[in-house]
Amino acid sequence: MQRVQIGRNPDGSPIMGYTTIEGVTKRGVYGRAQMRVGEEFARVGNRHYSTAKRARLMPETIMELTNDPDLRRALLRDAGYLQTPLRDRSTNAWIQERLRQQQLDRVTADTFYRSLGIDLY
């Protein structure tokens, strides 16, 4: 594995981290979750599949970025490593609850990454 530049510090120095392309196609688990929150996809070369434009950080990088357990969970859920815990599956309301939580996690992650100077696109 090799660290790649995922952003810049205010002083101009690079922020390095690990990313992965595992599961980022429309058929992958991460890709399907990205489609639900309205993520854009792009074709890669002349291949017949599309991948998410947003980079997917590795758990190691997420763990290095913050010590706050709640924020870590939100970032790990946003990156597709944890699922949203569901309380009640007796009705279809859990589908809306999961989508709402995914959208909240995306806003939380984007706000946090932006505050550090990290650009995942």
Please report whether residue 38 resides in a domain.
yes
Burial of 115: CB neighbours in 10 Å, binned 0-12, 13-18, 19+: exposed
Number of domains in the chain: 1
Please report whether residue 72 resides in a domain.
yes
Instruction: Tell me the pairing of strands 41-43 and 50-52.
Output: antiparallel
Domain holding 8, by residue range, is 4-116
Q: What is the pLDDT of residues 44-80, one digit of tens each?
A: 666 667 777 778 899 999 999 999 999 999 999 998 8
Q: How confident is the model at residue 67, as a pLDDT?
A: 95
6 pLDDT band, cuts 50/70/90, is very high
- pTM value? 0.80
